[in-house]
Amino acid sequence: MPEFEKLVVGLGNPGAEYEHTAHNLGFMVVDRLADRHGIRIGRKDCLAFVGQGTVAGKKVLLAKPQTFMNLSGESVQGLLVKNEIAAGDLVLVYDELDLPWQSVRIRPNGSAAGHRGVGSIIHCVGTKEFPRVRLGIHGGRREKDGAQIVLAKLKRAHRQELDELLDYASEAVESIIAEGVEKSMAKYNRRAQGLNEEE
């Protein structure tokens, strides 16, 4: 029997220069989850920093791939295979350029929608049938190139709202682990400004 029931992966880029960028929200959520459950993320395994512990009564492996974002698939595939975790038991957390800041969307599966990190994972794992938690960072019209937006440091106003967002997204992941994707979508999918609305 596999040791872990879920693999929770947050996407980001390694290195101090990326630390406070929107593209690293996935890392931040995994760190917040680790804090909430007393899990230490420090061991290096399959090109990722990992930590193990219990979330919602289930044995969970938390991971932050240390390849660059666009190559995350290699690390995720390695972790799934090594730990005998099915792709459907992966929960992927990442930033989404096309959703407004502070919105959270859980989906049971789907395409990469232009997100190269997600594209890399779908390619390496060989399926798009895994749940994901998408965190809005922009939405609306873009004056700038997408890469400039995702790699810019978070604005001060955003940083003030970040704490609440990380807690909310962590709760959404906990809910997926505890109750499954469908119930969690009904509970946690929300638009910006804290409105609890479904898509």
Q: How far apart are CA 195 and CA 168, in angstroms?
A: 12
Residue with tokens 């350029």: 97
* Domain assignment present for 81: yes
Determine, yes or no, domain membership for 199.
no
Of 101, 193, 95, 86, the C-alpha closest to 138 is: 101
Task: Tell me if 1 is assigned to some domain.
Answer: no
pLDDT at 192: 61
Is 195 within the bounds of a domain? no
* Total number of domains in the chain: 1
Please check whether residue 198 lies inside any domain of the structure: no
In-domain check, residue 196: no
Q: Give me 32's structure tokens.
A: 């917040």
Q: Which residues are catalytic?
A: 23
Any domain includes 19: yes
Q: How far apart are CA 80 and CA 78, in angstroms?
A: 6
Residue range(s) defining the domain that contains residue 43: 6-188
Distance CA 62, CA 37 (A): 11
Instruction: Residue 111: give its domain's CATH number.
Output: 3.40.50.1470
Per-residue confidence (pLDDT) for residue 199, from 0 to 100: 38
Contact at 8 Å (CB) between 58 and 100?
no
Q: What is the mean pLDDT of each run of 10 residues along the chain (199 residues)?
A: 92 92 95 98 97 97 96 98 97 94 95 94 98 88 72 84 95 98 94 49
| Spatial CB neighbours of 184, under 8 Å, sequence gap ≥ 6 | 106, 172, 175, 176
* Per-residue model confidence (pLDDT) at position 183: 96
Domain-located, residue 97: yes
